[in-house]
């Protein structure tokens, strides 16, 4: 019973996703380019680094890296609680 | 896990040091070449997994302990929080002016290591954090015996 | 063949959901969740591509080339590490389930004992 309902829903979902993938914007021609153009032109002068991706990760969006360090710490602490008897 | 044959053990004792040096090279050159803290930390943790596979869990536990890895990860997380929040703007201006980690020339250039402001210490701290976290997961998950 | 990366994302989604619904082993469930995470990361990276672009790094690149966008690549680095932490926690729970029930079949585990 579960597998028949799952098969029907899976086929509907797959056809809807294929229709959405063919109607999307062309691959390689983005439309809103103002933010990234400003970041690529001014990253070397503001931060002093050659790598634009590292400057975005640690300077313009450093709070996302702080949240990611928190997620790593929470996952490792949970592993330590679940497997307690084996050190 | 049991230990492996003599050939695997001797090659592992030779290959552990170049893997460590390669991972540190990718961590430190994070603001010049593609890479950074996350990628280099995972590469250094691969070397720890290699030692655990080749030498068996009984002998490799004498070299890497799980409690030291957890303390190292907590220390790196607290230091990253302090360096970013308290010294975020003032430390980067200080480093950019007194030319310890100075500014970079504009345009296409061969990279210089002494550039980037506060990005240098942040890369190293995140690299230590990711290495300690993945090593702790490998040490704890490899001690389970099938009873 | 237009929009080939988006069609690849839909194929990966189909494979991930098939393994999640139709298979009984717990290890196959863990692998299918990893495949779904890879599909999401691939979609996020392929939205920031410009035609014939190079990596957004200023160290010794040829002159007069356009650069690819840099913000989606920074978000995907974070998402990959979060997927690694998720897989680690799921495997730790699978170890505890195996020590408690003695089997890895989800049809046996459904009846709660003890």
Evaluate whether residue C58 is within a structural domain: no
Chain B closest-CA separation from residue A9 CA (Å): 37
Higher-pLDDT residue of B112 and B16 is B16
Contact B108 C88 (CB under 8 A): no
Q: Which of A55, A76, A82, A84 to mutate against chain B (most B CBs within 10 Å)?
A: A76
Instruction: Return the higher-pLDDT residue of A46 and B6.
Output: B6
Q: How far apart are the first and last CA of chain A?
A: 43
> Cα dihedral sign for C73, C74, C77, C83?
negative
Output the pLDDT for position C75: 94
Q: Give C26-55 pLDDT, tens digit per residue.
A: 999 999 999 999 999 999 999 989 888 888
Query: Sorting pLDDT into bands at 50, 70 and 90, what band is B42?
Result: very high
Q: What pLDDT, on the 0 to 100 scale, is given for residue A27?
A: 87
Residues of B in contact with C59 (CB under 8 A): 32-33, 108-111
Complex prediction ipTM: 0.85
Instruction: Give the contacts of B65 (CB within 8 A, at least 6 positions apart).
Output: B139
| C60/B111 CB distance under 8 A | yes
C-beta atoms of A51 and B70 within 8 A:
no
pLDDT (0 to 100) of residue B97? 59
The answer to whether residue C114 is domain-embedded is no
Q: With an 8 Å Cβ cutoff, are A69 and B77 in contact?
A: yes
- How confident is the model at residue C112, as a pLDDT? 66
Would you say C87 and A76 are in contact if contact means Cβ atoms under 8 Å apart?
A: no
Beta-carbon separation of C70 and A18 below 8 A: no
So what's the pLDDT on residue B52? Answer: 92
| Per-residue confidence band for B110, with pLDDT thresholds at 50, 70 and 90 | confident
The pLDDT confidence band at residue A2, using thresholds 50, 70 and 90, is confident
Residues B99-106 have a mean pLDDT of: 62
Nearest in space to B88 (alpha carbons), one of B122, B115, B113, B112: B122
CA distances to A70, B22, C50, C79 from C59, rounded to whole Å, are 32, 20, 20, 26
Q: Is residue A87's pLDDT more than 50?
A: no
pLDDT mean over A6-16: 93
Residue of chain A nearest C80, judged by CA positions: A68
B52 three-state secondary structure: helix
Instruction: Give pLDDT, residue B115.
Output: 75
Note the pLDDT of residue C6: 93
Is the pLDDT at A26 greater than 90? The verdict is no
Which one of B84, B101, B111 would you mutate to disrupt binding with A, by most A Cβ within 10 Å of its Cβ? B84
**Please, what is the average pLDDT of chain B?**
86
Residue A7 within a domain: yes
Q: Is residue A87 part of a domain?
A: no
pLDDT in tens, A40-50: 888 888 887 88
Q: What is the predicted pLDDT for the residue at B139?
A: 92
Coil, helix or strand at residue C69: coil
Q: Tell whether the torsion through CA atoms of C10, C13, C19 and C22 is positive or negative.
A: negative
The verdict on residue C90 lying in a domain is: yes
Beta-carbon contacts of B93 under 8 Å, excluding residues fewer than 6 positions away, are: none
Least confident among B1-15, B42-56, B82-96: B82-96
Q: Is B32 on the interface with C (CB under 8 A)?
A: yes
CB contact under 8 Å between C22 and A28, yes or no, is no
Token readout for C48 is 């920031």
Per-residue pLDDT, B87: 65
Given a cut of 90, whether residue B31 has pLDDT beyond it is: no
Residue C15: which CATH number? Answer: 1.10.287.3510
| Range of the structural domain that residue C9 is part of | 4-50+67-109
Mean pLDDT estimate for chain A: 89
- For residue A13, the distance in angstroms to the closest alpha carbon of chain C comes to 9
Residue ranges in chain C modelled with pLDDT below 70 = 112-114
Mutation target to probe the A interface, by most A beta carbons within 10 A, among C81, C85, C98 is C85
- Whole domain around residue A42: which residue ranges? 2-82
The count of structural domains within chain A is 1
- Tell me if B119 and A47 make a contact (CB, 8 A cut-off): yes
Cα nearest neighbour of C49 on chain A: A28
Does residue C62 form part of some domain?
Answer: no
Contact status, residue C57 vs residue B34, Cβ threshold 8 Å = yes
Calculate how close chain A gets to B7, using CA atoms only, in Å: 31
User: What pLDDT was estimated at residue B128?
Assistant: 96
Phi first, then psi: give them for residue B27, nearest 5 degrees: -70, -45
Residue A66 lies in a domain: yes
* Chain A environment of C94 (Cβ under 8 Å): none
Average pLDDT in the B17-21 region?
96
């Amino acid at each position: 019973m579960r597998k028949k309902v799952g098969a029907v829903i899976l086929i509907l979902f797959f056809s809807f996703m294929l229709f959405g993938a063919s109607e999307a914007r062309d691959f390689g021609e983005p439309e809103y380019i103002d933010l990234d153009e400003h970041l690529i032109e001014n990253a070397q002068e503001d931060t002093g680094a050659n790598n634009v991706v590292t400057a975005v990760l640690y300077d313009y969006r450093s709070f996302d890296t702080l949240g990611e360090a928190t997620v790593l710490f929470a996952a490792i602490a949970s592993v330590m609680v679940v497997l307690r008897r084996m050190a | 896990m049991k230990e492996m044959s003599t050939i695997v053990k001797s090659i592992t004792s030779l290959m552990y040091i170049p893997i460590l040096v390669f991972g540190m090279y990718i961590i430190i050159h994070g603001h010049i070449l593609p890479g950074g803290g996350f990628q280099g930390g995972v590469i250094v943790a691969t070397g720890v997994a290699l030692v655990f596979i080749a030498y068996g869990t009984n002998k490799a536990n004498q070299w890497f302990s799980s409690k030291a890895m957890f303390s190292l990860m907590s220390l790196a997380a607290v230091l990253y929080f302090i360096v970013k929040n308290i010294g975020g703007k003032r430390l980067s201006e200080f480093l950019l002016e007194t030319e310890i980690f100075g500014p970079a020339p504009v345009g296409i250039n061969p990279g210089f290591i002494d550039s980037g402001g506060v990005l240098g210490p942040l890369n190293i701290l995140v690299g230590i954090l990711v290495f300690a976290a993945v090593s702790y997961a490998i040490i704890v998950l490899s001690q389970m015996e099938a009873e | 063949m237009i929009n080939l990366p988006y069609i690849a994302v839909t194929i990966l989604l189909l494979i991930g959901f098939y393994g999640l619904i139709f298979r009984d082993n717990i290890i196959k469930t863990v692998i299918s969740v990893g495949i779904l995470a890879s599909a999401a990361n691939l979609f996020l990276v392929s939205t920031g591509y410009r035609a014939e672009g190079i990596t957004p790094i200023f160290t010794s690149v040829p002159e007069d080339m356009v650069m690819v966008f840099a913000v989606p690549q920074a978000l995907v680095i974070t998402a990959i590490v979060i997927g690694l932490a998720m897989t680690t926690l799921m495997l730790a729970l699978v170890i505890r389930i195996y020590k408690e029930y003695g089997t890895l079949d989800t049809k046996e585990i459904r009846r709660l004992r003890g």
